[in-house]
Structure 1
């Protein structure tokens, strides 16, 4: 088995389900020691309407597949919790080779179904929660990781979304634009330290959330499993020349072209590439 990340330490946030869980499993399969975090712990889920998976379940699955790692409960919008996490990791490991910023709280149950038919009907707190659970979470976690590991983090990978043309849901688009600008600016600031900061934009993933809110007919066609983007994250982490992509947001289809990654069924979905035909 090819394990290009053997000996490396990777932190994957938001790893209780979806892309975070898939990333944890794929990084472990590539040989990394994987630290997984999430707010949802066994018996205490933040998403009551979704399957009750937790960060503890992810660790169990990772170990059952032969991987190595550990799990921590952490709300990545809480500076004190992130600070304690970084102190614990520095004391135990002394290094952090890869940080995968995947934590997301923008679809917490309190906001479900709150979309307005007109933009002025949107709940004002929707954007606040999406910014906190997205760009702010990435910002806080990355800065504290760099501080406690003295800037010696080799890769910062942020899961995100390409903003659409024509644009979609207002608060979602604005929150993802903030994440994408974070990748661009931080990549510029850290280039001199040879630290890659790269965004990865999946296509239409068949996550637990998507399967709850969409019919099988809506999900048919060019959808993908979370493992497709997760394998792209691993490929970037293992690429010695990844610095050339720093500051950019790469679609998972671009990563398939670059690295030859495939989804679990061997396919290479190009959902985003098809969806933006006719856009700018």
Structure 2
């Protein structure tokens, strides 16, 4: 979790509450980008339902007990209170692979508000199952299918059940959170199942954009860059305070970003009355930063996907040009 200073929090306060009265569901809000998105939507005034599998009473298969949906809801409340936006957070334990649980969740949203304006599909949790640079026939089938369950099936189940409520009011937005864009994912992602799991949400946004447009709603896919999530920091043995010490071992740390960066851009997109212009597209955090003028917590605008594209083209990009 990225912590802000008092100065950071003050600078992030919206002059208005552009999302006041909006109802948002962030599916997969336990940690990382999902948690930050929930917080920034609440800061902008939205009523946010934060879902996930890890609660203070029960831990998901990831085994990260310190990151719960209850804490996410409390962070949403704190951000909204700090901003004076009127937003709020509600934690609802939900396994998005269980259709009946998802139906119960949407029934509650409908009962309490009668509408849903924003659905963010950020379910994942498959990192411990990944075997990169391993051929399909050398990967355990059950392991691979679990990756598709976590990264694809959960998204399909949630959208299928939530869309009837989402499309009730024109202007609603479906957001698929993934890893990469249509531009950056044109090459093999190092694992058959991971490639499918991270390209599928991009295609979902493209397909659902076609289906939602006639009813006045929008679908987009978004991705962070090199994300300093809690899980990523732990994996590399660094913290939010010490990650800069790892830039020699892993140069992409130099253009890494906090979860708040994508979240700020997405909150701005949700508030944009013209967000339908993005319908069916896939955007990275740097795209959103350029479009809406947002920055990361340190005032920078990292662009790791642009940096990696320059590397791919044989260049020697300067970090300063992509941060």
**What TM-score, normalized to structure 2?**
0.80
The Cα of 1:51 is off from its aligned counterpart by 5.8
**Residue 71 (str. 1) matches residue 91 (str. 2):** yes
Q: Give the RMSD, CA atoms, in angstroms.
A: 2.0
Q: Distance in 1 between matches of 2:54 and 2:263?
A: 20
Larger mean Cα displacement after TM superposition, 74-83 or 133-142: 133-142
Q: How many residues align?
A: 276
**Residue 17 (str. 1) matches residue 31 (str. 2):** yes
Larger mean Cα displacement after TM superposition, 270-279 or 148-157: 148-157
**Residue 30 (str. 1) matches residue 63 (str. 2):** no
Query: What is the aligned counterpart of 1:83 among 91, 103, 106?
Result: 103
More strand by share: 1
* 2:178 alignment partner in structure 1: 160
Query: What is the aligned counterpart of 2:158 among 118, 141, 145?
Result: 141
What 5-or-longer segments of structure 2 have no aligned partner? 1-13, 82-86, 238-242, 314-323
The Cα of 1:148 is off from its aligned counterpart by 3.8
Q: Distance in 1 between matches of 2:189 and 2:132?
A: 15
Q: Distance in 2 between matches of 1:165 and 1:149?
A: 33
Q: Distance in 2 between matches of 1:6 and 1:121?
A: 50
Query: What is the aligned counterpart of 1:206 among 228, 237, 242?
Result: 228
Larger mean Cα displacement after TM superposition, 93-102 or 157-166: 157-166
What 5-or-longer segments of structure 1 have no aligned partner? none
1:149-176 C-alpha deviation (Å, 9 max, x unpaired): 5543700011112225353232111111
* 2:3 alignment partner in structure 1: none
Task: Note the 1:42-121 alignment, pairs <5 A.
Answer: 42-46=56-60, 49-50=63-64, 52-65=66-79, 66=81, 67-107=87-127, 111=129, 114-115=131-132, 117-121=134-138
* 1:131 alignment partner in structure 2: 148
The Cα of 1:141 is off from its aligned counterpart by 1.1
Larger mean Cα displacement after TM superposition, 116-125 or 173-182: 116-125
Q: Distance in 2 between matches of 1:122 and 1:129?
A: 12
Larger Rg: 2
The Cα of 1:118 is off from its aligned counterpart by 4.0
* 1:186 alignment partner in structure 2: 208
